[in-house]
């Protein structure tokens, strides 16, 4: 079976999360001991092959960084300079559409078209990458017309069979439908989203199986009783990604020693883990208690699946060892230091890094008292955004190595070298940021020796 995962905005984190999940056997997700193999990839989409069918509904809910999961239908060869609609002009026959894309829906068929680029050069110059046959030097060609052309071609084919059809197209300056458009137009219930994954010499045809539940993420983020905008809050999607990269087995216990108002704890509960949260700030823990009580009732979480402590991360071993819990990993957004509205001075940044290094060192010493060998610590540390793709990062994380931890790359070096679109730092971490924020999050993974 071949599937495609549509990657989120920070595609490197999305890619890393998918590979982490697919590399672990999990019968509930359809994952066997034989890892999925990568067929193709770009900054927009990752195509894999699995031995058994995936449980895509469950997998979609698990993956914080995946926008859609598609099933690959066919691979169509094309010449480099053929347009997409020219290459597919004889493909979308009524029998093909019925067999591969459309359910036996009796009412008005609603379908949409999305196009994703596979080739790096196409991604860099999308408007000039494809030239119709015989027009190799015509720079006026625009790939953004392709979804409409192909959509109208399919609509004409279906209409000629007597079907009543409605076509949904991407908005201007986009090649693909957002998940809100797929959901809002009921495409998966009343028809299909037809996806085209386009490279220089090939086109994968695919249909969308699942889309990310954007409404539920909004509830988990904005409908909680307590929010703390001043300190900044890790988005639920990013918390999910970090937990999925921890390597923790289903049902095991994860610790967040800087739990704040409980985002990491709630996302771990939703993924089926037992969660322990602690924080030095008693008011944050009180807010976390209120949020988690709301969350437990809203999502029907069984009692006794989490615990909260007021505790300094540099002294957290005492309540952990006293409780008797076996901690399989630590996943946390550590204290990031001050939040700035203007870019801080070099002296301020150096002081922040120095102070935080002391905090992290003491915390790692504590973690060593209860973490087993090979356990992972997945954490956010600050990186100061100087410009687009330019950051002032921690000068060194060598303190962890001296305390018995190895720094682990989010993505194996062999894959990072092969897929140039991946944006890893020199130490194998990745940056998550927002345009309006100066303090970005560098996500790093350590493993206990």
CA dihedral sign of residues 304, 305, 311, 315: positive
Query: 67-84 pLDDT, tens per residue?
Result: 999 999 999 999 988 899
Name the pLDDT band for 168 (thresholds 50, 70, 90). very high
- Whether residue 84 contacts residue 198, with contact meaning beta carbons closer than 8 Å, is answered with yes
Domain 225-448 of CATH type 3.40.640.10: no
Name the pLDDT band for 230 (thresholds 50, 70, 90). low
Angstrom distance (rounded) from CA 264 to CA 261: 9
- Whether residue 288 contacts residue 265, with contact meaning beta carbons closer than 8 Å, is answered with yes
Closest by CA position to 7, among listed 124, 179, 142:
179
Q: Name the pTM for this structure.
A: 0.93
Fill in the DSSP letter of residue 225.
S
CA dihedral sign of residues 322, 323, 326, 331: negative
Name the residue with higher pLDDT: 176 or 231.
Answer: 176
Q: What is the mean pLDDT of residues 212-222?
A: 95
Strand partners, 238: none
Q: Which run of H or E residues covers position 37?
A: strand 37-41
What top-level class would CATH report for the domain 2-212? alpha beta
Ranges of each domain in the chain:
2-212, 225-448
Task: Order across the sheet with 109-117: list the strands.
Answer: 37-41, 45-49, 2-7, 66-77, 202-211, 191-198, 109-117, 165-168
CA 290 from chain center: how many Å? 27
Kindly give, in sequence order, each residue whose CB lies less than 8 Å from that of residue 336, ignoring residues fewer than 6 positions away.
232, 356, 380, 381, 382, 439, 441
SS3 assignment, position 205: strand
> Above pLDDT 90, what percent of the chain?
85
Name the pLDDT band for 141 (thresholds 50, 70, 90). low
CA dihedral sign of residues 90, 93, 95, 101: positive
């Amino acid at each position: 079976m071949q599937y495609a995962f549509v990657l989120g905005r920070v595609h490197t984190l999305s890619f890393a999360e998918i590979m982490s999940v697919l590399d672990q056997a999990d019968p509930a997700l359809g994952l066997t001991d034989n890892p999925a193999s990568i067929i193709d990839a770009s900054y927009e989409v990752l195509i894999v092959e699995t031995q058994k069918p995936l449980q895509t509904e469950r997998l979609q809910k698990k993956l914080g960084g995946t926008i859609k999961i598609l099933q690959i239908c066919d691979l169509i060869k094309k010449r480099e300079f053929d347009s997409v609609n020219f290459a597919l002009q004889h493909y979308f026959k009524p029998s093909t559409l019925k067999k591969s894309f459309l359910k036996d829906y009796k009412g008005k068929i609603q379908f949409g078209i999305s196009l994703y680029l596979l080739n790096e050069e196409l991604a860099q110059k999308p408007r000039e990458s494809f030239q119709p046959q015989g027009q190799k030097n015509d720079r006026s060609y625009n790939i953004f017309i392709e979804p409409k052309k192909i959509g109208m071609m399919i609509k004409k084919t279906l209409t000629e069979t007597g079907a009543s059809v409605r076509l949904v197209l991407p908005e201007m300056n986009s090649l693909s439908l957002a998940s809100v458009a797929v959901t809002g137009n009921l495409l998966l219930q009343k028809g299909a989203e037809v996806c085209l994954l386009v490279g220089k010499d090939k086109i994968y045809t695919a249909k969308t199986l699942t889309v990310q539940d954007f409404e539920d993420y909004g509830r988990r983020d904005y409908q909680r009783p307590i929010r703390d905008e001043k300190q900044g809050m890790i988005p639920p999607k990013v918390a999910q990604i970090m937990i999925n990269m921890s390597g923790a087995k289903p049902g095991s216990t994860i610790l967040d020693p800087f739990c704040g108002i409980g985002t990491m704890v709630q996302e771990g509960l939703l993924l089926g883990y037992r969660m322990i949260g602690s924080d030095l700030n008693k008011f944050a823990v009180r807010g976390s208690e209120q949020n988690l009580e709301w969350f437990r009732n809203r999502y029907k979480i069984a009692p006794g699946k989490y615990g909260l402590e007021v505790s300094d991360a540099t002294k957290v071993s005492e309540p952990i060892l006293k409780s008797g819990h076996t901690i399989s990993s630590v996943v946390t957004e550590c204290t990031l230091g001050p939040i700035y509205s203007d870019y801080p001075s070099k002296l301020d940044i150096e002081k922040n890094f120095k102070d935080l290094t002391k905090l992290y060192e003491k915390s790692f010493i504590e973690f060593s008292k209860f973490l087993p060998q090979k356990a992972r610590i997945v954490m956010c540390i600050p990186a100061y955004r100087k410009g687009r793709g330019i950051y002032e990062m921690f000068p060194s994380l060598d303190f962890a190595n001296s305390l018995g931890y190895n720094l682990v790359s989010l993505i194996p070096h062999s894959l990072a070298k092969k897929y140039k679109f991946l944006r890893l730092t020199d130490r194998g971490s990745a940056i998550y940021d927002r345009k309006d924020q100066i303090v970005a999050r560098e996500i790093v993974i350590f493993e206990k020796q």
